[in-house]
Every structure is written in C-alpha cells, then in structure tokens.
Structure 1
Amino acid sequence: MLSDRAQILLKTLVERYIADGQPVGSKALSHYSGLDISSATIRNVMVDLEQLGFVASPHTSAGRIPTSLGYRFFVDSLLSVQQLHADKLQPLSNGLPVDNPQRTITAASQLLSQLTHFAGVVLTPRRQDVLLKHIEFLPLSDRRVLLILVTSDGDVQNRIIQTNSLFSQSELSEAANFLNAHCTGRTWHNLRQVVENEVRAVKGELAALLNTAVVYSQDVLSGDTENLVISGERNLLDSDDLAANMGRLRQLFELFERKTALLQLMEAGNRAEGVKIFIGGESGLAPLDDCSIITAPYHANGEVIGTLGVIGPTRMAYERIIPIVDVTARLLSSALSQ
C-alpha cells in the first residue's frame, strides 16, 4: 500500500505527464500537488515509487514519467472520472441511426474516433441468426455479374462473380427469382441444402451461377463470422508518443489490417461487466505496448452482443475517454434494441 502522500504525488505526476508529455520534476510536483513538503522529501518518495515500478527516469532527465504499472494504479485507485462537457454531449445527444444495424455500428465507431481523436473500434456481433432476405444479380462488363445479398439484419453485401457465359438481364432475373423463391428466410446451411436439391430445375450455365452465388453467400451468412469496424486509425499518426517510433506504429497498422489478434482481445470485453482497460503490455500484443485500449460491452434487448472501444497512446486523458466509451456503449445498445 502506498502512503497518502505517495498516492497524491503519483496522481499529480500522472496527471501532469498526461497534460504536458514531459518528465515531471520535484519542483512541478511541489507546485501542483498542494503538499507542504520539501523537494528532498519529494525526491525520496520518487525513489520509492521507482523501486516499486510505478515511475521511471527517462535518459538522464531529473524528472520522471509513469510506467504501465503506474498508469494501472492511477486508473484503478486514483482516477476521478469527469462528467462530459457540453461540447462532447452534443454529438452524443443526436444518438445513432437506427435504420440499419451495420450503419449503426459504423456510426458508433466513427463517433468514438471523432470524440477522442484516437481510433474507434467496434466488434460486431456473431451472426448466428442471420437469414437471407433478398438476392439480386446485375450484369457487368467482361462476363462479370454483381451479386447483391441483403440479410435479415439489414446488411447489404456485394460480390463480383466471374462467369463463363454472357447472361442477359432476363436470365439473371430468372436466377434471382429462383433463389428468392426457394431461399429467402434461410440460413447459410439451409440455403446450400435447398440449392443442391432444387438446382436441377434450372438449365445450363445458370445452374453454375446459382452454385457460385451460394458459395459467395457463405461469408455473409455464416454463423461464425465476426468483424471489427475501425475508424480514425490515422488519428494515431498525430500522437507524438506513437509517431516517435515508426517501427512500432507500422506494426500497429498491420495489426489493424490483420484484425485476428485484435478480435480476440476485443472479445475479452464481452465478458466484462462494464468498462475494461488494457494498458501497455497487458494486452499481450507487442504492437500495443505503447497503447491503451478502453472497451465496454454493448447489448441488444438485454443480451451482450459485442464490444466497442478506443485505442490510443498510454498517455491519454483516461478521465475523459472512459465516460465517452461508456456513454457510446449505452447509445449503441439503445439503438440496436429498437
């Protein structure tokens, strides 16, 4: 346990470093902490905090900066979460669109990025109960056909199919009518079974087109698919803390592109009761060693269906970012429950 004096000095140090980005010396700690103690006493406390792993001395500077462990103690024990200011509440008061779930999720990701100036991330729900609602084919040039798939949750997906034959609009309409008549309201597994049983009724090259459409439907209707919606990645280029290490920043953007490891990390937020914070190496992902992730689960009709969050440098204003993530999760839950 840290003494009250050590906690006040650690809190002051973290807050000053977040505000200024510069190592904090004993003179600044004396001024901002409000403690009536000597600089020698402050230095002694800093030595104790450094030995405990809460602060570090960069280079030969006389000042100190918080470590990941120091941030963790600050967030868990010393942080005073602020109420959102009016300028932050205004975009939130407009709510999120409710006409299309995918559009709602994308808007939540963009809102997080806009309000925090970091990267906004939303883990979409597992699509266990997604059904096919409508299929349409449109002819393109060079023996290509555009497949349009509309799902029961309002998602619209497009796929381009390369064909061996040229199809007229009437032939494509015939194929779409066949699938809509036999497959609407079915999951991926039922869709494949129906087409295998009924496709004999369709002649020639249209049969191949139908089978191809079913294959392309798999990633849209498969019950195991999850995805990440990420907005505002370029905001991280404006962070001095991250931009100073271009190699690490490049790894971070590769992580965004691959998504798999980040998916697993975001899934951990599904099991949290509220806001969950990963600081630095706590994520277990090397590209995020200089970052913090603040996540919160969101619900639909009382059931947790996904996680959203913010990715930014460890030197972030936690007292401001945490309520933004929390409120956005509540907004998304409300929009998806309507």
Structure 2
Amino acid sequence: MRGQAYPELSERARTVFRVVVESYLRSGTPVGSRTISHLSGLNLSPASIRNVMQDLEEAGLLAAPHVSAGRLPTETGLRLFVDGMMQAAEPSSEERSAIERGIGRGGPIEDALAAAGAVLSGLSACAGLVLVPKREAVLRQFGFVPLSQDQALAVLVGADGSVENRVVALPPGTPPAALNEAANYISTAFAGLTLGEARARITAEIGLDRAALDRVSRELVERGLALWSTDGRARPVLIVRGQANLIDTQAAEDLERVRQLLDELEGKEEIARLLDSAREGSATKIFIGSENKLFALSGSSIVAAPYRGAEGQVVGVVGVIGPTRLNYARVVPMVDFTAHTLSRLMT
C-alpha cells in the first residue's frame, strides 16, 4: 500500500525480485531459480539465486505456493514493483488508434463511455469499467399507483423517455384523489426540471404558502421528490464490459476466485464506490488485492483514472479490473490514455 515502508534491497536482490515479478506477470506461474539465472544476466548459480529468493520471501515480497515450487510476488511485492520499479510502456500506435476509433464514433456520450469500457476490455483481456457522470433525471411526467392503504408506486418518466419507479409510504388516510392531485401538480409544475430543482422549488413555494395543494397532497409531493432526488444522487452508475475475459486458462484453475470476482462485479455499488475514490487527484490509481477489503477474497486488482468534463472538473472514472497478475506496465498507460481521450471528447 502506498506509504508503506519497504525493506532496503541490494542491487542483486532488486534484479532477482524484478525478474520474478515480470516473469510472473507474463506467465501467471511461479518462477524458479533456473528461470531467473537465464533471464537476469546475473553471474550467479541457481543455489545463490535461491538464497536471494529466500531473503525476499522473509522480507514479505515473495511467496512459495508449494514447498518445491518457484516463487511469486505477494501483494506487498506487487505494490513495491508498481510504485518504485515498474517501467511503464507507452501505448502502441495500434492501441492508441483502437482507443480513439472506438470512443470517437459519434453519437450520444453514453455510447462513447460504453465503447471505452469495451475497448479497454479487448486490449487488456480484462473487464472494462466506466463510472459515468452522475446526472439527475429531467422530469417529464409523474404518477402514483396505489398499492395498499399505506403504500403507492411512484412512477417517473424522464425527458429522455426513461421510466423508473419507487415505492413510497403514504400519509395515514390518503384518499385516491390526493394521489391524482399530487401527480398532476408535479407533472404540470415541474416538467423540464431536474428532481433537485423541483424539490427546491416546492420547498420555496410551501414556505411562501404558494403551493395550491391541500395538506395531504403537499406531503405526497414532498415525499415523492425527496425520495427520488436522494436516491438519484446516491445511486452509482457503472458500465462493465468484458466479464468473460476474466475466465482464462489460468483462471480455470482457480474458479472460486473468479466466481468471487464475478459476484463482486454483480454488486456494482461497492465497485463504483471504490472507483469513485479515484476521482481525487489526476494520477492513475492502482488497487491491488486485499489492500481493499472488497478484494480480500478474489485477489483482484483495479487500474483506474479520472476523466474530465468541459470545465475541467472530474466527472467520471475509467479503468479495468482483473487478477493481481495484470500486466501493469502496459495497462496503466493504456487506461491513462483512454481517460485523456474521453476528456478531450467531453470538452
């Protein structure tokens, strides 16, 4: 985790550690001393390399999944690597073209955001994530459908044609006529406004005693708008593309971890809250495994970068999610380039 104190490593230990991590990220398998002796360029015997690996294991940077197996990096080791040793590669011209071509096809911005997730998924062989700008619905029509004596279904039709509904508690003794009066009032008085704007206006009108409503209808209007405006602000909007990429040949050997990750993606609110934390600052953020409690079981990583709107403010986050053995050196600049491309599109 950032800010954590790491052990001082000799040049020899750094070289061995780097080779283990890079080889593991390429292959997804533990790395043995013979492999390191061939790849590192160090004039060391396999026995000497094993001694160095043992020291790295004791330092908490490497682990041995089996007694006779090679080593692989721990989450602490991966954090040390991505923060202080990784040499990121710029996206290739083909990758840049694919990102720009996929995002810049024209049409609604929502299509471009979904395309960004799909392109990142295809290029990274992970699942693409896009946290979209939070936009309150603009009201076109509102209605109440009675469910029981104390509950009704509030139905909102947005200016874009979207239809959403919520269950709202009714004031005691609410007559059907009050439901119709409140619905007609909302549809007539607040069409073309966001729910937040509508709620502010009805509050002002009630305060000045200008709302032409009886007590029950007025309470219904307040309840309906308050419920929706609060829900609209709190509800995360997350686009996920390419979940099937998470089930690869290596993942087939660890199906429980993959199942856990897919379950986490189904619960989009927790993932969205994690991505939302990447809004702060301008740098790409990397979340590795159990550094975040959400991934304590699945052992997953997220690489995420914020993108900006017309006035330069952060409006959303784009990234990828996959196993901790991501090719960080390739994925990090790819996500960063996609964020900058989306920012240019939205200005």
Residues in 1 aligned to 2:100 and 2:257: alpha-carbon distance in whole angstroms: 36
Equivalent of 2:138 in 132, 135, 160: 132
SS of structure 2 residue aligned to 1:285:
helix
Query: Of 53, 63, 67, which residue of structure 1 is paired with 2:74?
Result: 67
Equivalence for 2:29:
22
CA distance in 1, matches of 2:229, 2:197: 14
Question: What is the total number of aligned residue pairs between the two structures?
Answer: 307
Find the residue that maps to 1:311 and give its secondary structure: strand
Question: SS of the residue aligned with 1:278?
Answer: strand
2:281 aligned residue: 272
Q: Does 1:78 align with 2:88?
A: no
Instruction: Note the alpha carbon deviations across 1:137-170, whole angstroms, 9 max, x for none.
Output: 9xxxxxxxx97523xxxx6523489xxxxxxxxx
SS in 1 for 2:319: strand
Asked if the contact 2:128–2:241 (Cα under 8 Å) also holds between the matched residues in 1, the reply is yes
Identity in percent: 36
Residue 247 of structure 1 deviates from its aligned partner by 2.9
Q: TM-score, normalised by structure 2?
A: 0.75
Q: 1:117 to 1:102 in 2, by over 3 A?
A: same
Distance 1:76 1:239 in 2: 28
Alignment of 1:145-164 (within 5 A): 148-150=157-159, 157-159=162-164
Q: Deviations over 1:222-254 (max 9, x none)?
A: 34433211111121122524x433333222222
Paired position in structure 1 for 2:246? 236
CA shift digits 1:294-329 (9 cap, x unpaired): 111111121112222110011121111111110111
| Distance in 1 (alpha carbons) for counterparts of 2:274 and 2:99 | 26
Q: 1:69 to 1:41 in 2, by over 3 A?
A: same
Give the aligned residue type for 2:138. Answer: L
Which piece of structure 1 moves more, 228-237 or 96-105?
96-105
Instruction: Tell me which moved more, 230-239 or 283-292.
Output: 283-292
Change (3 A) 1:92 1:26: same
The amino acid that maps onto 1:6 is A
Any gaps of 5 or more consecutive residues in structure 2? Answer: 1-7, 144-154, 167-182
Structure 1 stretches lacking a partner, 5+ long:
138-145, 162-175, 201-206
Aligned to 1:164: none
- The change in CA–CA distance for 1:189 and 1:78 in structure 2 (over 3 A counts) is closer
- Helix, strand or coil: the match of 1:309? strand
Further displaced range: 327-336 or 57-66: 57-66
Aligned residue for 1:39? 46
Equivalent residue for 1:12, pick from 12, 15, 19: 19
| Correspondence 1:284-295 to 2 at 5 A | 284-286=293-295, 289-295=298-304
Q: 1:216 to 1:106 in 2, by over 3 A?
A: farther
Q: Within 5 Å, which residues of 2 pair with 1:1-338? A: 1-94=8-101, 95-97=103-105, 99-127=107-135, 130=136, 132=138, 134=140, 148-150=157-159, 157-159=162-164, 182-191=189-198, 218=228, 222-238=232-248, 240-241=250-251, 243-286=252-295, 289-300=298-309, 301-337=311-347
- The verdict on how the C-alpha distance between 1:316 and 1:59 changes in structure 2, with shifts beyond 3 A counting, is same
| CA pair 239-185 structure 1, distance change in 2 beyond 3 A | farther
- 2:146 matched to which residue of 1? none
Distance 2:108 2:184 in 1: 24
| Superposed displacement of residue 286, structure 1 | 3.9
Partner in structure 2 of residue 170 of structure 1: none
**Aligned residues of 1:96 and 1:108 also touching (Cα < 8 A):** no
Query: Distance between the aligned counterparts of 1:182 and 1:116, measured in 2?
Result: 49
- How many Å apart are 1:184 and its aligned residue? 3.6
Counterpart of 2:327 in structure 1: which amino acid? A
CA RMSD, 1 decimal: 3.6
